[in-house]
Amino acid sequence: MFSFVPEMKITAEIITIGDEILIGQIVNTNAVWLSQQLVKIGVWVSKIASVGDNSTHISYSLKQALLSNNIVIITGGLGPTNDDITKKTLQDFFKTGLKKVDEVENHIKSTFKKVNVEFLPVHEQQSYILGNSSLLFNNYGTAPGMWIDENEKTVIILPGVPKEMKGIMSDFALDKIKLKYKLPEIISKSIVTYGIPESTLAEILKETENQLPDNIKLAYLPSFSSVKLRLTSVSYDLNFINTVFENCFKEILQKIPTANIAAIQDLKQEEIIGKLLSDKGKTLSIAESCTGGYVSHLITSVSGSSQYFKGSVTSYSNSAKINILEVEQSTIDNFGAVSEQCVRQMAKGVRKKFDSDYAISTSGIAGPTGETPDKPIGTVWIAVCNRDKCLTKKIKLKGNREDIIKNSSFTALEFLRQLIISE
């Protein structure tokens, strides 16, 4: 896992304000995004704190954060409603007044005009920023962002609406951070592997990993049936990156069996398959039972997928399997819908129906109901075929309905990838 390296000398703390995070109503996605952006430009996030709409807690957290960090980023509580107390709290904290910014007021007025909402006094207060701050203009909403220089330290105040927070950071704040502080270069390269367990990878790479310099870290990012390796270097010396880092990456690449390497970049499984199909000019169709449309959703979530994806049938009923996919009644009668014979006929049927080069089919018990003595919940049959042959496999998955739907979908995509590259 990529973790702190000594080269990251500039540190930040993120303070998100709002009760909704403390009661688990929303996930703190702002902090996730902010951390990713800061690490990318070479700023180490030492702490993420979520506090409620409470002046005492906000001031106290800010005081603590300033003691041990160069940068503090505060998000949330800048709206016009009563529980939005950030600005008032910071006024007291910095013992400063407010100053009106006409640019912001005009922006708010014109925004309201567009949607035919009357501009009220309650809205006017949004055009004020802290007296000791400079404006970070908000192109995506009405609450302005603020930048405060406390000697060498910086406090950045942003709205909590993700679109606005991200917009202000990307438009202004990240660049201002890069200008104010001397930051190291960060470079990352990824390898997506399939069919090789994390522990085996760790064993293969043990020696290389132990010899990595302090400022190069190897991260193992396991997901279902796949492990992504990310090599990251932090350095003020570009030459170091071009030589040492590249050599370390090459060494790692050489040690992993080629068959297990799906991509030498940061791609999702569905993107890897999309790339394989477009490169070969081949097409795909899908027949889904237990996965209920999720495999198709993954494939079509990739932009440009209409170039290689012809379509799919979710045959949730036996009649649909028989009438649309031309599965034989006798197959269902003799072996059941969750059987090798059935997925084989589903895959062949859908490939024929859509006249595609490849096809995937799935049939299984996602649960919590529908299990039989010989077919427990999590039993899933998968078939993949091209114009010549059809391969099948049976998997047994653990977990709830969602786990089983998603993990059988991932397995089906990986099964197809293996068929494609085997040709």
Contact flag: residue 61 with a copy of itself (CB under 8 A): yes
Q: Which is nearer to a copy of itself, 144 or 349 (CB)?
A: 349
Candidates 281, 287, 275; CA nearest to 327 is 287
SS3 219: strand
Is residue 11 within 8 A of residue 69, CB to CB? The reply is yes
Nearer to a copy of itself, 195 or 293 (CB): 293
Consecutive H or E run containing 278: helix 269-280
Given the complex with a copy of itself, which of 52 and 195 has the nearer CB atom? 52
Q: How many residues bind a copy of itself (CB under 8 A)?
A: 77
C-beta separation of 96 from 55 below 8 A: no
Which range of residues in 177-185, 252-260, 267-275, 360-368 is near a copy of itself by CB under 8 A? 360-368
Q: Does 9 bind a copy of itself (CB under 8 A)?
A: no
Q: Using CB under 8 A as the criterion, what x/- string covers residues 216-235 for binding a copy of itself?
A: ---x-x--------------
- The smaller minimum CB distance to a copy of itself, of residues 172 and 309, is found at 309
Please pick, from the candidates 149, 198, 207, 355, the single residue that binds a copy of itself as defined by CB under 8 A.
355
Residue 247 Cβ, how far from a copy of itself at the closest point, in Å?
Answer: 24
Tell which positions 293-332 bind a copy of itself, by CB under 8 A: 293-297, 299-301, 303-306, 309-317, 319-320, 323-324
Position among 147, 245, 249, 354 found at the interface with a copy of itself (CB under 8 A): 354
Of positions 6, 7, 41, 49, contacts a copy of itself by CB under 8 A:
49
For the bound state, the minimum distance from the C-beta of residue 38 to a copy of itself, rounded and expressed in Å, comes to 8
Minimum distance between the CB of residue 22 and a copy of itself, rounded to whole angstroms?
4
Helix (H) or strand (E) holding 110: helix 102-114
Among 19, 124, 209, 326, binds a copy of itself (CB under 8 A): 19
Distance CA 236, CA 152 (A): 20
Write down the least CB distance from residue 27 to a copy of itself, Å: 6
Q: Which of 118, 214, 369, 373 binds a copy of itself (CB under 8 A)?
A: 369
Q: Tokens 């404006």 appear where?
A: 135
Does 50 interact with a copy of itself (rule: CB under 8 A)?
A: yes
Taking the alpha carbons at both ends of the chain, their separation in whole angstroms is: 35
396-415 positions binding a copy of itself, by CB under 8 A: 401-402, 405
144 prior amide bond cis, ω within 30: no
286 lies in the binding site for a copy of itself (CB under 8 A): yes
Which of the ranges 20-28, 144-152, 270-278, 328-336 carries the binding residues for a copy of itself, by CB under 8 A? 20-28
Q: Does 270 bind a copy of itself (CB under 8 A)?
A: no
What single-letter amino acid sits at 329? Q
Give the helix ranges, DSSP H, for 115-245.
121-124, 162-168, 174-180, 198-210, 238-240
The DSSP code sequence of 348-379 is HHHHHHHT-SEEEEEEE--SSS--BTTB-TTE
Which of residues 164, 288, 357, 414 is near a copy of itself by CB under 8 A? 288
- Our finding on whether 198 is near a copy of itself (CB under 8 A) is no
Neighbour count for residue 263 (Cβ, 10 Å): 20
Burial class (CB in 10 A: 0-12, 13-18, 19+), 234: buried
Return the residue of 41, 48, 261, 391 that touches a copy of itself, per CB under 8 A.
48
Cβ distance 399 to 368 under 8 Å? no
Residues 6+ apart with CB under 8 A from 306: 300
> Strand pairing of 261-263 and 11-17?
unpaired
Q: Interaction with a copy of itself in 27-46: which residues (CB under 8 A)?
A: 27-29, 31-36, 39, 44-46
190, β-bridge pairs? 230
Give the tokens for residue 349. 């049927």
Q: Which of residues 82-111 bind a copy of itself (CB under 8 A)?
A: 83
**Where do we find the tokens 């008032």?**
88
